[in-house]
Amino acid sequence: MKKTIPILKKMLMIAIGASLAAVGLEVFLIPNQMIDGGIVGISIMVSYLSGIPIAVFLILLNLPFLYWGYRQIGKTFALSTLYAVVCLSAGVSILHAIPGVTEDFILAALFGGVILGAGVGLIIRSGGSLDGTEIIAIIFDRRTSFTVGEIVMFFNLFILSSAGIVFGWDKAMYSLLAYFAAYKTIDVTIDGLNETKGVLILSEQYDAISKAIRDRLGREYTIFECKDDKERICTIFVVVTRLEIAKLRLIVSGFDRNALIAITSVEIEGKRFRKKPIH
């Protein structure tokens, strides 16, 4: 029972994500001849040219990549992706008869991209994917110097450029707007508004800054790598949320306008990342 509940929760989240993606596609993008990147974008164009329902191509075009992913990445990821693709195919089939809600291309691109991105983000967060090109990217990332993001971007630029030939260049540019909206929404959906950031602060006012971080942000910190040249300069490390970055900058600049600040995304596990009472 303990193993069944997480699996059912995962399947539910993937189904919800696929449903949102289907709404973004069939209610906003496809009625206005806009596409997404990857296999979804190819499926939209091939469906338009052939007259065959998009759901057929979503499954057929993803199958080779799913098999490849099964062999190279793992069974769990491949099965989760297959389930997501089947749910998306079912969703677009059900929603196909519903007319688009707007003929304004900008509104369709923005709302379609945001809803699609939210759906894809939920699926990725649940350990699946909607697109075979991501599987290719993961595999090639292991074998080349290119990152997953760079490989996916290359594929999508080619696919979005093809949309200009099929639907016209104005629709291709609107598709690019939708893709950007989806991309940013995926980022927020996966990481959340409270995405954690690791911050390194290099300053001679380390003592005052660290106390202010604890008192005004309620965050614990670590001080290390102190250098005794002409003046004692130490490095402070603190983990905060994305929403706390602006306040942290104000705290640091209030004590040392010349302080060096380095910010990077970090993944937090465990229960120690909790705010202390602010005095």
Taking only the tens place, the pLDDT of each residue in 144-159 is: 666 555 667 777 788 8
The verdict on 161 and 210 lying in the same domain is no
Structure tokens at 22: 């289907």
Range in 96-100, 114-118, 249-253 with the lowest mean pLDDT: 96-100
- Mark which of 125, 158, 191 sits at the end of a domain: 191
The verdict on 141 and 261 lying in the same domain is no
The CATH number covering residue 260 comes to 3.30.70.260
pLDDT at 171 over 80: yes
CB-facing half-sphere around the CA of 62: CA atoms within 13 A: 29
Burial of 12: CB neighbours in 10 Å, binned 0-12, 13-18, 19+: exposed
The verdict on 24 and 122 lying in the same domain is yes
Q: Report the number of distinct structural domains present in the chain.
A: 2
Range of the domain at 242: 196-265
Chain-centre distance for alpha carbon 37: 14
Contacts of 244 (CB under 8 A, 6+ apart): 217, 219
The verdict on 213 and 230 lying in the same domain is yes
Provide the pLDDT confidence category of residue 132 given band limits of 50, 70 and 90: confident
**In a domain? residue 275:** no
Give the whole-angstrom CA distance, residue 11 versus residue 5: 10
